[in-house]
């Protein structure tokens, strides 16, 4: 990989004696990893090796992910670069928290945050780019999140709806991407010496919006995948200068992680509480993480009005004709929300979504068709086999038929809708008609498995 000359000069000056090892690491192979989804009843993967754990991530392992596997398609694992895993570890929200992932696509941070929330509280996962917001929603659905909505808003628009609302706000900021050079060679092509400065300016605008949505006493987690001091220490120095009610909190540093460098900003020793990951010091790509807390004030915070159900009586009846026979749990009718032709289960405590661009307002339960209701794949992935009546266990061969879109036969199973399971994981719905399982795996997701 040919690094820009200006980049080489910049980091030779900044890193001094470390520079040769740094540049050598950038020409090495990227590190790959994945997380196991604890919301899937703590089941361990069968298609991926978990003998090489990431030491600083409770759910993380080193290794590449194979997409055409039951592990991946069921949402049991999520591919994520190992250094990036530490952002979710630092944020570590509690069940019941209100959490915002402000720049969330493609979903690595969101799914990690949700891993700690145990389906309780509210997680708002936002992405400004519409196409990327769609990808984010797909990953949220595959991971099986019940307490998460996906919005497609700019940060300054979102702040009008959630003033001082969140306990934890994560800003994994759009950046110059220097830390991803060896993983994404295209990032090298658009890098210029001025690019980190323009990114830093945009990041400061995002941070202003993020802080307006953070409640007093709440925590802001800021991260980038760049080495640039302009986007890292210098942005944190700016925050501390601009906001007297903010303080940096220390972050536990594992072997290979280093302190932020005050000398690359204004010399404030508090900046050593931030964290850097360099690829010549750890198994991972470049990353910067800071954790800040907003001080408690006496100001009264006005709670937003809740989102109300808009489901009609006929829609509710069509839903219950299927749900009462399919589910062994009850989803309260007050949480039902019609969104176009689809029916969603809203997270508890969801504020009014009026005037918000929403991609996913909760769990997609299914679609209303003429005089009937058809359950959707996200409903299967969001719950455990025990949450359904009469789950049907299928073989790996039948699973391969299923994800390819084929029908298959099964004996001694009652007619009607059933959730299908494989390796004790829910993998979708089928409708049994006289021993034949009609296939309802979404057409856009179908693929061939090499048997």
- Is residue 438 a part of any domain in this protein? no
For residues 55, 57, 61, 64, the Cα torsion angle rounded to the nearest 10 degrees is -120
Containing structural domain, residue 156:
5-294
Phi-psi region of 92 (alpha: psi -120 to 50; beta: other; left: phi over 0): left
The answer to whether 25 is a known ligand-binding residue is no
The answer to whether 228 is a known ligand-binding residue is no
Q: How far is CA 334 from CA 95, 310, 318, 349, in A?
A: 21, 9, 16, 11
**Contact yes or no for 293/279 (Cβ under 8 A):** no
Query: pLDDT category, 302, cuts 50, 70, 90?
Result: confident
- Is residue 424 a part of any domain in this protein? no
The answer to whether 435 is a known ligand-binding residue is no
Instruction: Give the residue from 330, 320, 326, 248 showing the smallest Cα distance to 289.
Output: 248
The answer to whether 103 is a known ligand-binding residue is yes
Q: 371 vs 92, which has greater pLDDT?
A: 92
Render 419-445 in DSSP notation, one character per residue: EEEETTEEEEEEEEETTEEEE-S-GGG
| pLDDT (tens digit per residue) in 17-75 | 999 999 999 999 999 999 999 999 889 999 999 999 999 999 999 999 999 999 999 99
**Contact yes or no for 175/84 (Cβ under 8 A):** no
The answer to whether 175 is a known ligand-binding residue is no
- Is residue 205 a part of any domain in this protein? yes
Query: pLDDT category, 371, cuts 50, 70, 90?
Result: confident
**Contact yes or no for 185/117 (Cβ under 8 A):** no
| pLDDT (tens digit per residue) in 150-183 | 999 999 999 999 999 999 999 999 999 999 999 8
Q: What is the distance in angstroms between the CA of the first residue and the CA of the last residue of the chain?
A: 37
**Contact yes or no for 137/359 (Cβ under 8 A):** yes
- Is residue 159 a part of any domain in this protein? yes
- Is residue 150 a part of any domain in this protein? yes
Instruction: Give the residue from 382, 401, 383 showing the smallest Cα distance to 446.
Output: 401
Residue 147: partners with Cβ closer than 8 Å, 6 or more residues away:
114, 117, 119, 120, 121, 122, 123, 347, 348
The yes-or-no verdict on residue 82 having pLDDT over 80 is yes
| pLDDT (tens digit per residue) in 199-252 | 999 999 999 999 999 999 999 999 999 999 999 999 999 999 999 999 999 999
Share of the chain above pLDDT 90, in %: 94
- Is residue 130 a part of any domain in this protein? yes
The answer to whether 279 is a known ligand-binding residue is no
- Is residue 88 a part of any domain in this protein? yes
- Is residue 434 a part of any domain in this protein? no
Domain CATH number, residue 223: 3.40.50.150
Q: How far apart are CA 185 and CA 163, in angstroms?
A: 39
Render 205-248 in DSSP notation, one character per residue: HHHHHHHHTEEEEEEEEEEES---TTTTHHHHHHHHHH-TTEEE
Query: pLDDT category, 411, cuts 50, 70, 90?
Result: confident
The answer to whether 104 is a known ligand-binding residue is yes
Per-residue pLDDT, averaged over 88-112, amounts to 98
Query: pLDDT category, 451, cuts 50, 70, 90?
Result: low
The answer to whether 109 is a known ligand-binding residue is yes
Q: Which DSSP helix (H) or strand (E) runs through 259?
A: strand 258-259
Q: How far is CA 34 from CA 93, 240, 350, in A?
A: 20, 34, 30
Q: Which residues are catalytic?
A: 225
- The structural domain count of the chain equals 1
**Contact yes or no for 36/59 (Cβ under 8 A):** yes
Q: Is 26 helix (H, G, I), strand (E, B) or coil?
A: helix
CB atoms within 10 A of CB 153: 22
The answer to whether 266 is a known ligand-binding residue is no
């Amino acid at each position: 990989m040919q690094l820009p000359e200006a980049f080489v000069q910049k980091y030779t000056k900044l890193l001094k004696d470390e520079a040769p090892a740094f540049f050598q690491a950038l020409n090495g192979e990227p590190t790959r990893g994945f997380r196991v989804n604890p919301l899937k009843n703590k089941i361990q993967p069968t298609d991926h090796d978990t003998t090489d754990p990431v030491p600083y991530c409770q759910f993380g392992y080193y290794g590449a992910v194979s997409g055409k596997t039951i592990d991946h398609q069921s949402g049991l694992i999520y591919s994520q670069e190992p250094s990036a895993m530490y952002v979710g570890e630092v944020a570590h929200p509690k069940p019941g928290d209100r959490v915002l992932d402000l720049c969330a696509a493609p979903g690595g941070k969101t799914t990690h945050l949700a891993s700690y929330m145990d389906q309780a509280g509210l997680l708002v996962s936002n992405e400004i780019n519409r196409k990327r917001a769609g990808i984010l929603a797909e990953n949220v659905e595959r991971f099986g999140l019940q307490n998460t909505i996906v919005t497609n808003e700019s940060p300054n628009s979102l702040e009008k709806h959630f003033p001082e609302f969140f306990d934890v706000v994560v800003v994994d900021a759009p950046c110059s991407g220097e830390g991803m050079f060896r993983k994404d060679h295209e990032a090298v092509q658009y890098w210029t010496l001025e690019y980190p400065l323009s990114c830093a300016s945009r990041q400061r605008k995002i941070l202003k919006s993020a802080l307006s949505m953070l409640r007093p006493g709440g925590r802001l987690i800021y991260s980038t995948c760049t080495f640039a001091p302009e986007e890292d220490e210098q942005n944190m120095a700016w925050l501390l200068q601009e906001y007297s009610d903010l303080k940096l909190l220390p972050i536990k540093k594992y072997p290979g992680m280093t302190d932020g460098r005050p000398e690359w900003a204004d010399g404030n020793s508090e900046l050593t509480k931030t964290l850097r990951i360099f690829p010549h010091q750890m198994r991972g790509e470049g990353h910067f993480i800071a954790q800040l807390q907003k001080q408690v004030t006496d100001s009264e915070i006005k709670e937003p009005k809740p989102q109300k159900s808009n489901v009609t009586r006929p829609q509710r009846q069509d839903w219950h004709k299927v749900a009462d026979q399919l589910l062994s749990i009850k989803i309260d009718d007050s949480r039902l929300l019609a969104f176009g032709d689809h029916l969603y289960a809203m997270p508890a405590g969801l504020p009014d979504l009026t005037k918000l661009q929403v991609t996913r307002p909760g769990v997609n339960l299914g679609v209303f068709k003429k005089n009937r209701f058809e359950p959707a794949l996200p409903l299967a992935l969001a719950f455990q086999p025990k949450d359904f009546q009469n789950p049907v266990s299928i073989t790996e061969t039948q699973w391969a038929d299923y994800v390819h879109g084929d029908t298959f036969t099964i004996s001694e199973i009652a007619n009607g809708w059933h959730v299908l399971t494989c390796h004790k994981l829910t993998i979708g719905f089928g409708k049994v008609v006289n021993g034949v399982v009609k296939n309802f795996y979404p057409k856009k997701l179908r693929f061939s498995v090499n048997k």
